[in-house]
Amino acid sequence: MIKSNKKITLTIDFHNTETRVIAREIGPNTYRISDRQWYDARRRMCGMPDCKCVVKSTGFIIDPVYGGFDFIEENAFWADKDGE
């Protein structure tokens, strides 16, 4: 299987900001970014370190893991649960 990269859009609705990150594929319908990419993206969207705003990504479930963040496509998650 050829691994690929995917551009993922992160948003903060409270500040009405968004940015894109390039995530690497680590499995079927699952992509990962590093801690550094996460914090750089967050700083681009909200420069206040003590702000409690929430980062979202439409179409993905965000899962924090050691050393980074995984993005699992929502439609793939539900398809697997239904046995499709």
Question: Who has greater pLDDT, 60 or 75?
Answer: 60
Which pLDDT belongs to residue 78? 52
Question: Who has greater pLDDT, 25 or 77?
Answer: 25
Q: Where are the domains of the chain?
A: 5-81
pLDDT band at 82 (very low <50, low <70, confident <90, very high): very low
Q: What is the side-by-side strand order in the sheet with 68-73?
A: 5-12, 17-27, 30-34, 68-73, 60-65
> Under DSSP, is residue 34 helix (H, G, I), strand (E, B) or coil?
strand
Q: Kindly state the percentage of the chain with pLDDT values over 90.
A: 62
Rounded to the nearest integer, the mean pLDDT of the chain is 86
Measured in degrees and rounded to the nearest 5, phi and psi for residue 77 equal: -60, -45
